[in-house]
A = this chain, B = another copy of it.
């Protein structure tokens, strides 16, 4: 995705600004128009605040139209390929573009029940969720009152907008939309970081196979050069880290049983705060290990 600097947006023609940010709110370029006159924006945060304020200040009908402008999750628009490119990429990020027939039916059922109750589409910032988490969230929000749900929908729209701004605009500040998932491996048998350990990160699903998210090898400091997930929200969901310690200890010549007591160490954990820092390390000998949520 090409990005644009906040500085240049501050200096640009009004039309250029509106074109650049018109997609921030789904089918609602009027939000960008509403704030173009308030330039310059010192930070991305103040730009985001101004756009949210514009939405909050709009007439009720216009806000409702904004909500109604969103496509169903895993709905007909997705199947028909008529979504905005932002929505398309977002839904794909949570795997909504590769549902099983059973999952598609479940989304269909929930979409219908939701529309029947609230008369607008269910909106959630899908980049912050796994498929399982979206379904759980969906069931939960179906229980809301109309007032609570209108507020919830708007909250999700603001989260979506924040992520779109984060991806489009370069500025000196960052919106608080990034989480970080990292690990490290400490060889407490030798008393130093474990280098050269292969680690896989998988996203788990209540139904269906785990999905490989990342595969890294630890450096001399026992860490991956980059976080396993960074620069984006960590989708709420369950994960498994797989540490290939048997191979590591074999290469290092550490005494092990045959077959080795530990080979691939799986650690399963859930992420509940997409913008949080999750550090999930492994302290390991050929006969023992421990892990914890660090930060």
Contacts and interface: CB of A to CB of B under 8 A. Distances in A.
Interface of A: 133, 186, 188-193, 221-222, 236-238, 255, 257-266, 268-270, 272-273, 283, 285-295
Contact of A288 (B261, B272, B292): B292
A273 B292 contact: no
A180 to B, nearest CB: 14
A293 B191 contact: yes
Given A266-B266, A266-B268, A293 B189 contact: no
Contact of A293 (B261, B263, B270): B261
Given A268-B264, A287-B191, A273 B294 contact: no
B236 A259 contact: yes
A262 B270 CA distance: 7
24 contacts: A190-B255, A191-B261, A191-B285, A191-B292, A191-B293, A192-B293, A193-B295, A238-B259, A257-B272, A257-B273, A259-B270, A260-B270, A261-B270, A262-B269, A262-B270, A263-B268, A283-B292, A285-B285, A287-B292, A288-B290, A288-B292, A288-B293, A289-B292, A290-B291
B289 A290 contact: yes
B261 A272 contact: yes
A259 B257 CA distance: 30
Interface centre among A133, A260, A287, by most chain B C-beta atoms within 10 angstroms, is A287
Contacts of A186: 292, 294
A230 to B, nearest CB: 18
Interface centre among A236, A286, A293, by most chain B C-beta atoms within 10 angstroms, is A293
Contacts of A288: 188, 191, 283, 290-293
Contacts of A264: 268
B283 A257 contact: no
A257 B293 CA distance: 12
Interface centre among A191, A236, A283, A294, by most chain B C-beta atoms within 10 angstroms, is A191
B257 A238 contact: no
Contact of A263 (B193, B265, B270): B270
B295 A287 contact: no
